[in-house]
Amino acid sequence: MGTLWYDAPADDWESQALPIGNGSLGAMVFGRIGRESIQFNEKTLWTGGPGSRQGYDSGNWRAARPEAIADIRRRINERERVGPDEVATALGQNRVGYGSYQSFGDLVLTMPAPERVENYRRELDIADAVATVEYTAAGVRYRREHFVSHPHRVIAVHLTADHTGRISFTAALEMPGDQDAALQMPGDQDAALEMPGGRKTTAGGRKTTRTVREGRITVAGALADNGLRFAALVHIAVEGGRRADNADGSVTVTEADSATILIAAATDYSDRYPEYRGPAPAPDLSAAAGIPYEQLRETHKRDHRALFDRVHLDLGQAAPDLSTDRQLAAYRGAGTPADRALEALFFQYGRYLLIASSRAGDPLPANLQGLWNESEQAPWSADYHANINVQMNYWPAGPANLGETAQPLHAFVESLRQPGAVTAKEMFGGPGWVVHSETNPFGFTGVHDWATSFWFPEAAAWLVHHLYDHYRFTLDRRFLAERAYPAMREVARFWLAELVAGPDGTLVVSPSYSPEHGDFTAGAAMSQQIVHDLFTNVLEAAAIVGDDATEVSAARDRLDPGTRIGSWGQLQEWKGDWDDPTDEHRHVSHLFALHPGRQITPFTTPALSHAAKTTLRARGDGGTGWSKAWKINFWARLLDGDHAHLMLSEQLRNSTLANLWDTHPPFQIDGNLGATAGIVEMLLQSHGGEVHVLPALPAVWPAGAVTGLRARGDLTVDIAWSAGAAREIAVTAGQGGRVGVRSAALVSGFRLVEAGSDGTVQARHQDDRVTFEARPGVRYRLTPA
């Protein structure tokens, strides 16, 4: 199904180490000899927020009051364009106590260093979610296995050898700053964290106490910045040999046949507004430590495969006998079996990373780095950028058959409603709720003063798009009525109050800004398109749940849709025709209506689709990793599979690290997940109310098969194709009802068979489309004539 492998240990965390995770716990495996360091994270370990010694203001409304926003609107009305620095000076504010995602620590294994190592192999099996390290030294074959169990909530490391009595090491838990820590600290530690006889340190802005007893290392403490409490347990069990506790808090294993190390970690973070604190952290190893290792491993594999195995992709690939880093270096995107092998692996790797960094029940969604971070001040804090990045993380959740992984995002969006309502009231003087360009685990919904990226109040409308799209994939009416629609309706109330009439009488967003590009204006295309998408979704949802949304309908009728064709045939980025045909900025935000929106499609709006194509060609095929991933999706929506594949090859050749992580630079996980979503869009689309099969198949994938993709309408779709055309399409309808299938292969006729039946199913056929009534849970096989 897919393996990343290397013939040398990792030297670099970002580009070479291999990620494992269970949604809330993550680790990076280096595979070093002599001294291994397994760096790990727990998703809620954050500085900043309430209690931060810097102070904290989640709304930043003290700088930007309604009258300040009204003044900027006045300047825009007078001058049409106002520079970002000027607006940031008027509305922005220094972020206070925003915080950053933290590395939890490192499990350090100090082992006898052999003089010579042979047949070294480090790999990550993404189908089993197990990372292994193997090598031979002095005639002995050593093996280390690593995984993070979601059922048992632990990181597991298992060491074996093919000779008895050869496993020896010292295990220590190192926290950031340990090497500079004092051995004693003042007695201001939280009494609940005191452990008699423990070694006390102040490390990396942390107050910690650690003990070791009977092979179990316990570390507990609090972050100095905000008092967030944390705890970690490391349990070492051995077969054969000896195990000894050491005075420095480490454990030594000598001449064992095998050893199993388990790590659990937790904090007292809670998503409860406004304090964001819960009970004392209580990591638990009891269940995992009480079962044999093989059982722990098999339970983990079954749990992971229950999600991962839903989708299989065959592009006619044949993996070369090359390590993954060499395979990436040799990749050209030329359609060879080896190139297709890397593309198929990259697709499934994105699914693996989403499973590893976001699982149902997690307290937080995947962040800019998914789950993994090695530092105390991560790039961009490893936060939740809501001007595309956190949304892109979840683009593959529905179509790549991982809908459950989006539950942390749904809960996170709902958790922003209360703080967002405060910001809406205090900053804008209006109803509903609002989020700007970035947020954190502590309900930050305000602005900062970074001129090029501080203003994006449409973020909440984009976030609730994901709630409604989850309904469209699942048709879960309870989810729509109780969770999605209330959040959507409140965002709509905000915009009903905030839209203003422009000179032409249409309703526009003001001030508005095309993310990180250009000046502040009224009615920038992305702003208008997102509000149009919101109002459209609210109206559809209102009809389903039985709510009256008359005022939303009236506002949408007056809304400038943000889809205007400019003087050189482009889709305008702003209401004014100011686009520069030589501009190659990485953001192409004004194509939101094409993807992930559905306002522009080649079938319903061909002129706008052509304008979008003109814009994309002008912007070029460069950009950062996430930008290239978005362009895969854009070109797929424009039904140009060859150009979509070109963007995939650009991402692999120029924006992918040796461990297949996407790089901005630095590493950002959104590019991985956005590319996986883009590959699905090349093979299957359903945003237009029908199942469109192979809408953007590139010439370099002439034959193949995919099973388990999901389409809106609670549909599961399998496709097999050859000579560039579908030869079999299978659709399983979860809830039944009318199903429409579009495929170029159907133009000359078709045969539609219901599973378990010999006769054909009655269907309507028009050009390349077939429509039929499906029964719940039944698989229908459609073959071209």
Say which CATH number the domain at 267 has: 2.70.98.50
pLDDT value at residue 196: 33
Please state, in angstroms and rounded to a whole number, the distance separating the CA atoms of residues 455 and 450.
9
Could you tell me if residue 125 is inside a domain? Answer: yes
pLDDT digits (tens, 9 = 90+) for 408-456: 999 999 999 999 999 999 999 999 999 999 999 999 999 998 998 899 9
Given a cut of 90, is residue 176 above it in pLDDT? no
749, pLDDT greater than 80: yes
Which of 276, 309, 342 lies at the terminal end of a domain, its last residue?
309
**Per-residue confidence (pLDDT) for residue 185, from 0 to 100:** 27
Render pLDDT for 354-412 as a digit per residue (tens, 0 to 9).
Answer: 999 999 999 999 999 999 999 999 999 999 999 999 999 999 999 999 999 999 999 99
Confidence of residue 605 (pLDDT cuts 50, 70, 90): very high
Per the CB < 8 A criterion, the answer to whether 209 and 176 are in contact is: no
Mean pLDDT of 199-213: 73
* Cα–Cα dist 395/407, whole Å: 13
Give the tens place of pLDDT for each residue, 48-100.
999 999 999 888 766 668 999 999 999 999 999 999 999 999 999 888 999 99
Domain assignment present for residue 636? The answer is no
Place of tokens 């000046």: 519
Q: Which tens digit of pLDDT belongs to each residue from 302-357?
A: 999 999 999 999 999 999 999 999 999 999 999 999 999 999 999 999 999 999 99
Q: How many domains does the chain have?
A: 2
Q: Residues for the chain: how many in total?
A: 785
Give SS3 for 463. Answer: helix
Q: Grade residue 586 by pLDDT with cuts at 50, 70 and 90.
A: confident
Cα–Cα–Cα angle for 626, 630, 633, nearest 5°?
145
Residue 591 clears pLDDT 90, i.e. is over it:
yes
- Structure confidence at residue 1 (pLDDT): 65
Q: How confident is the model at residue 188 (pLDDT cuts 50, 70, 90)?
A: very low
Task: Supply the pLDDT for residue 205.
Answer: 83
DSSP string, 283-337: ---HHHHTS-HHHHHHHHHHHHHHHHTT-EEE-S----SS-HHHHHHH---S--H
- Residue 198: predicted pLDDT: 43
Does residue 457 sit within a domain? no
Domain extent at residue 266 = 3-46+100-309
Q: Tens digits of per-residue pLDDT, 634-656?
A: 999 999 999 999 999 999 999 99
Of 376, 378, 384, 380, the closest CA to residue 358 belongs to: 384
Q: Is residue 602 part of a domain?
A: no
Q: What is the pLDDT of residue 529?
A: 98
CB atoms within 10 A of CB 777: 11
What region, left, alpha or beta, does residue 516 occupy, with left being phi > 0 and alpha being psi -120 to 50 degrees? left
How far, in Å, CA of 493 to CA of 485, rounded?
A: 12
pLDDT confidence band for 193 (50 / 70 / 90): very low
Do 614 and 621 form a contact (C-beta atoms < 8 A)?
no
Question: Is 228 within a domain?
Answer: yes
| DSSP codes, 137-149 | ETTEEEEEEEEEE
In the prediction, which pLDDT does 58 show? Answer: 86
CA 632 to chain centre: 17
**Within-domain flag for 396:** no
DSSP 100-158: -B---EEEEEE----S--EEEEEEEETTTTEEEEEEEETTEEEEEEEEEETTTTEEEEE
Query: Of 254, 280, 309, which closes a domain?
Result: 309
Average pLDDT score over the chain: 94
Q: What is the domain-level CATH number for residue 735?
A: 2.60.40.1180
Work out the number of other CB atoms within 10 angstroms of the CB of residue 513.
29
Q: Which of 288, 309, 330 is the last residue of a domain?
A: 309
Domain for residue 441, yes or no? Answer: no
What whole-number distance in Å separates Cα of residue 368 and Cα of residue 385? 7
Q: Does residue 226 belong to any structural domain of this protein?
A: yes
Contact indicator for 253, 111 with CB cutoff of 8 Å: no
The predicted-structure confidence for 246-274, as pLDDT tens digits, reads as follows: 999 999 999 999 999 999 999 999 999 99
Q: Are the beta carbons of 60 and 446 closer than 8 angstroms?
A: yes
